[in-house]
Structure 1
Amino acid sequence: MKNIFTLVAFLLLLGSCGSQNNTVITKAEVTTQVTSDSDTTSRTKLVVGIVVDQMRYDYLTRFDAKYGNGGFKRLISEGFNCKNNHFNYVPTYTGPGHTSIYTGTTPKYHGIIGNNFYDKEIKTMVYCAQDDNVASVGTSDAAGKMSPHRMQTTTFGDENRLFTQMQGKTIGVSLKDRGAILPAGHTANAAYWFHGKEEGAWISSSFYMEDLPQWVKDFNASEYAQSYLKVWNTLYDISTYTESGTDLNNFEGGFKGKETATFPYDLKTLSETNRGFDILKATPYGNSLTTDFAIAAVKAENLGQDNITDVLAVSYSATDYVGHNFGVNSKEIEDTYIRLDKDLERFFNYLDETVGKGEYTVFLTADHGAVDVPSYLQSVNVPAGYVDNYARKETFNKFLTETYGTTDLVENVSNDQIFVDRAKVKSLGLNLIDVQNEIAMEQLTYPNISKVYTATALSSAGFSEGIEALLQNGYNQKRSGDVILVNDPAFIAYGKTGSTHGSALNYDTHVPLLFFGNGIKQGETLKKTVIPDIAPTISALLGISFPNGATGSVLGFVID
């Protein structure tokens, strides 16, 4: 007991001496100091999210021999490669894809069920980023009337802004408005997208700002966009492009004003009949322009220049436009990825110089894949084809008239969904579930429809695997339709040239997922990962709250 009293006396004396010298350090102060020191040495200065629009996983392996060591190969050799990464929902479109990557959940929760979708409340089609309550900034065109207001959950960029008391910046950059806006989130400092036509300018909306920053005005006044209106030829000798099909074939679209979809393309001349600067979007130079602008944003906004984490969301959209136009097996798509690889190397080299090697974190993925051109698949005896929506509509309207006496029972058919007019169902004294089931059974008899599900089934049953589980993850009770249709594999509602996407098949769901930089291990895995895992993983790396609707898991094996 005497020893205890002696110890207490000693501590009191020590405290008294400390007080006289003003050197007492409280526990709270010690904790604060340790946390601060830890943050300055381990917290990443900049997170760069890269989404390559319409990038199938096999583009990493197919074109590997043509890539340099500083782009895709650097991400793989120095970072972590999730080789079996998939979307776990449908539809696999750009708007839902970008949203799911950054929110860590699926359309079931974040609400972006398509690029364009039917709004059951106002009874009309809406665009996922459309907002008539804001004004265009940087153009008089309506192309700037956009915001993320239809996205119902937060992104990891939002959570980082909240965590840092709005000190960490978030900026979105993409040729496409939705590719910039949805990843940047609700609290972003800015989102910028490219308005082509006769302007060729990067623009924004009053959701973020009243006027473009001077650096964006200076960029638009420069010759960057103009400089890419030049001849597009293959970077290397076209005879070495053995990883893609023949240059002249029947499966590609091409540009107005050029008889064949073959190299070279005089973009300056062709721009006159292809919406001016918009032609750049369907060439690899659209990605180069995006890289130029992203680098300008890092420099002008001082991203990654302090110990408060910033977020830069970059989406490369040109790959999607090229794929839609020329198809996944074209020389054009191969050249586009070879050139994107060099743009990535240029971007990473700039980040090394300005932010510092090991001071920033990158992830690279895609918003969806794409199907081989069905007409090409048919030519090599793979089951594939085209959906005749006009014939379906005619047959379906006949069914509605004969069964219910009117076609007004259906409000809308879009995105492989049928929306029933519930007021009409009630006025006719019908049972909604019976109507859903009868429509589903009718649709199942149509050519090239493989499966049909009702809203009731998707809302009540629990599916854990297969296409059914993906449909359920993409089904939003407030926004999705009453009957969901699934086409046969490789059957699409599209033209006979070029590729598209949207299904639950592997060609649309299997996309790259690469992590690189600060806090990331080196390695690879064949374990299945899914798109909603990305945001929780980045959140865990940063030590911030997960996006509020996140359903994905932390990929702990990628974090160092």
Structure 2
Amino acid sequence: MKKLLFSTIILFCFLLSPISSISQTTDKSNPKLVIGIVVDQMRYDYLTRFYNKYGEGGFKRLMNEGFNCKNNHFNYVPTYTGPGHASVYTGTTPKYHGIISNNWYDKVSKASVYCAQDDAVESIGTTSRAGKMSPNRMQTTTFADENRLFTQKKGKTIGIAIKDRGAILPAGHTANAAYWFHGKDEGQWITSTYYMEDLPKWVKDFNKSKTVKSYLKTWNTLYDIKTYVESGDDLNDFEGGFKGKETATFPYDLKALKDENGGYDILKTTPFGNSLTADFALAAIEGEDLGQDEITDVLTVSFSCTDYVGHNFGVNSKEVEDTYLRLDKDLERLLKVLDKKVGSGEYTVFLTADHGAVDVPAYLKSLNVPAGYIDNSDMKTKFTEFMTKTYGTSDLVENVSNNQVFLNRKKIKALGLDLSSVQQTIVNELITYNDIDKAYTAQAMISTSFPDGIEHMIQNGFNQKRSGDVIVVYNPAYISYSHTGSTHGSGFNYDTHVPLLFYGKGVKQGSTVTRTVIPDIAPTMSALLNISFPSGATGSPLEFVIKK
């Protein structure tokens, strides 16, 4: 009898007392809002190099309270903005989503096309052609698309970036809206008729406000420049700077420099463009009531100005350091509003980049590190002479761009030549050029499976209908670019190794040095939301990130 009574009491206590704790630890509800953040041109080492100067509420909060994938890489080339944003959100590579570059030679129209270009739509918010954009060239869905489909379009998707491609491609095909910044003499956030016929009131109100003009001020370092010991000298030979200012040194009077540097476009090459992006994202959260019900919304935000600053001033510049210290403040501001507006623990964030960047080759050379610049003129002359001597004409080549050679297939057929043989002959020639490290034919990309190495990365970036006939790889740290500032595009670690931070609802706390790749992000978010993977996803969910 005593045993029976004891068992009854234990059962009664089990049924009553643990209910609240069980509900807390097994909460399977989705986050109210997912915020995907892409920091354009952010190398992984910017997290660690500037770590001691970051505050506690921005990058450090995401790193220390969330999950840090320390060995995250792009697994394809080219590492450019358009393909990068598409790959983050589709969970696959250019081989499948079709965004093979920012611009590429279209083999059908025989002209260069832009990754977000759409002449079938009209600009909204500007009379210029800057709004004639859509995701029409992207061939697969994003996880944001899948969330829209899963929720019967009840979950909203809004894309925001200074760059049009940084707003459009992440938001996907079914987005409620994507907004990007048109500078010049307008300084307006715009969109296209792909999404709507008129800007909503909150966007019009933002454009009418004095927010944009308020950033035309002096850009000086956030802290004493003498403390910026994590970067090189302010005055050096490796930076571009602004027209109208003799040296690329602090401070920069943006209002005075505005007219000689593209009007409001000057903000793109300063950290204030990122602050403007954060301002607009916060206005979108409020104006669109994002994260205000139990149906998950998606907000994609790309901070584009880090890329413009990097291109202008270079990886090792004090301008880059100051830009990241200020971005850290903007991230903290964003997270605080999310805590208040959506609720702490009710949203999920991931942060990554669309590519990294190389140190300025001229700077590397000054330190005896192998690096240099491609002499395109000399290479073109040499290659044209070879084609004329070998085939009696140089007309077999239609276009050379994005490290690819596009051949005139009709001409090759008319001359009775074998396409594969011509491709291989060109490879055999180009591989003899000093600054070219490797060269491959399209036939090799189609017929051979490469499990690893640069060949595997090229294959992941190779789209059979859109890519060229021959692909070349330059020597490490050799670029086709000006002798000041940094650029990107290669398959080397300086371009592929980027941050990947997860934070918030459904995310474990921790870190890993296990290798992860960019296409893993979208499947991970799909798994967290319990929705279908994007249509072309080739990545895998990162189980160690998600709470079970």
**1:245 alignment counterpart:** 232
Aligned counterpart, 2:378: 391
Distance 1:127 1:548 in 2: 23
1:125-164 paired onto structure 2 within 5 Å:
125-164=112-151
Q: CA deviation at 1:41?
A: 6.1
Structure-1 separation of matches of 2:456 and 2:390: 31
Say if 2:97 is the partner of 1:110: yes
Which residue among 243, 246, 249 is the counterpart of 1:262?
249
2:487 alignment counterpart: 500
Quote the residue 2:501 is aligned against: 514
Secondary structure of 2:174's match? coil
Percent identity reads 73
Q: Displacement of 1:234 after TM fit? A: 0.1
Cα distance in 2 for residues equivalent to 1:435 and 1:272: 50
Aligned residues: 525
Write the distance in 2 (CA, Å) between the matches of 1:41 and 1:292.
32
In the alignment, structure 1 residue 559 sits paired with structure 2 residue 546: yes
CA distance in 2, matches of 1:55, 1:227: 26
**CA deviation string 1:196-243 (max 9, x = no partner):** 011000000000000100110000000111000000000000000000
- 1:100 paired to 2:87: yes
Shifted more, 401-410 versus 290-299: the winner is 401-410
**1:459 to 2:446 alignment:** yes
Q: Is the 8 A contact 1:327 1:373 kept in 2?
A: yes
Q: What residue is the counterpart of 1:21 in the other structure?
A: none
Of the three residues 76, 82, 88, the one matched with 1:89 is 76
**Stretches (4+) displaced over 4 A:** 37-41
State the Cα distance separating 1:39 from its structure 2 match. Answer: 11
Which aligned pairs between 1:366-445 and structure 2 lie closer than 5 A?
Answer: 366-445=353-432
CA contact (8 A) 1:158 1:186 kept: yes
Do 1:40 and 1:307's aligned partners in 2 also have CA atoms closer than 8 Å?
A: no
Residue 198 of structure 1, aligned match among 185, 199, 204: 185
Bigger Rg over Cα: 1
CA distance in 2, matches of 1:69, 1:303: 25
1:406 offset after TM fit, Å?
1.0
Read off the aligned partner of 2:330 and give its amino acid letter. Answer: D
Q: CA separation in 1, counterparts of 2:190 and 2:431? A: 45
Structure-2 residue corresponding to 1:310: 297
Judge conservation of contact 1:48–1:314 (CA < 8 Å) in 2: yes
The TM-score with structure 1 as length reference comes to: 0.93
Measured after TM superposition, the shift of residue 405 of structure 1 is: 1.1
Shift of 1:261: 0.1
Amino acid at match of 1:462: S
Shift of 1:104: 0.1
Q: Which of 45, 49, 73 is matched with 1:58 structurally?
A: 45
Asked if 2 retains the 8 angstrom alpha-carbon contact of 1:137 and 1:212, the reply is: yes
- Alignment match of 2:456 (pick from 440, 456, 469): 469
Write the letter of the residue equivalent to 2:135. Answer: P
Q: Alpha-carbon deviation of 1:40?
A: 8.5
Once residues 406 and 204 of structure 1 are traced to their aligned partners in structure 2, the CA distance between those partners, rounded to angstroms, is 46
Contact preservation (8 Å) 1:413, 1:419: yes
Gaps of 5+ in 1: 1-36
Q: SS in structure 1 opposite 2:420?
A: helix
**In structure 2, distance between residues paired with 1:121 and 1:159:** 30
The one of 336, 339, 342 equivalent to 2:329 is 342
For 1:339 and 1:543, the matched residues in 2 are separated by: 35
Distance 1:380 1:436 in 2: 38
3-state SS of paired residue (1:42): coil
Indicate whether 1:351 and 2:350 are aligned: no
Q: Quote how far apart the aligned CAs of 1:272 are.
A: 1.1
Contact 1:39 1:307 in 2 (8 A): no
Task: List per-residue Cα deviations over 1:364-421 (Å, max 9, x = no partner).
Answer: 0000000000000000000000001111111111111111111110110000000011
Partner AA of 1:136 in structure 2: S
Report the AA paired with residue 175 of structure 1. I
Code of the aligned partner of 1:229: L
1:538 paired with 2:511, answer no
Q: For residues 518 and 277 of structure 1, what CA distance do their matches in structure 2 show?
A: 38
**Aligned partner letter, 1:414:** S
Describe the superposition over 1:167-199 as per-residue Cα deviations: whole angstroms up to 9, x where unpaired: 000000000000000000000000000000110
The one-letter code matched in structure 2 to 1:533 is D
- Structure 1 residues 368 and 410, CA, compared in 2 at 3 Å: closer, same or farther? same
- Residue of structure 2 in register with 1:208 after alignment: 195
RMSD between aligned residues: 1.2
Aligned partner of 1:6 in structure 2 is: none
Q: Distance in 1 between matches of 2:424 and 2:120?
A: 39
Partner Cα separation in structure 2 for residue 407 and residue 215 of structure 1: 55
